[in-house]
Amino acid sequence: MTAARRAFAVALLAWGCASGLALARPEPGRHAAEFCVATLPKPASCGRVQAELGKNGLLRFRIDDVRYTLQLHSSQLDVVVMHNVVQIDEFTANSDWRGETLTFLDVDRNSRYEIRFAPAAKR
């Protein structure tokens, strides 16, 4: 194998791995998910949610009468938390997709959040 072909194969493999990671991010629509919150250094507390992911990057889900609305950007998100009609929190945080899991931190509250979308086969 020539050096040029080897370089092309490595580039193709890297592109395939990167696109495979991108494909793990959930498609817009309704999804079964698990929402986890950890107030560091305590372990996370998790519960099931139905998450609605819009084409415009808007992610919504509800836990009892508390509604979370997240506006996703490339590496950040805006979070608004509502209790019925009263806004109880709002913040902007850095975010990261790890496969089908969205993670972000609320630095002011020393809290870590994860939204773990169910694998595509289980949706």
User: Does the pLDDT of residue 37 top 90, yes or no?
Assistant: yes
Within 10 Å of residue 33's Cβ, how many Cβ atoms? Answer: 25
* pLDDT confidence of residue 7: 38
Domain ranges of the chain: 3-122
- The pLDDT tens digits of the residues spanning 65-118 come to 999 999 999 999 999 999 999 999 999 999 999 999 999 999 889 999 999 999
CATH of domain 3-122: 2.40.128
Tell me the torsion sign for CA atoms 67, 36, 120, 56. Answer: positive
Distance separating alpha carbons of residues 93 and 103, to the nearest angstrom: 10
The 3-state DSSP class for residue 118 equals coil
> What is residue 85's three-state secondary structure?
coil
At 31, the pLDDT band (50, 70, 90 cuts) reads very high
Rounded to two decimals, the pTM is: 0.75
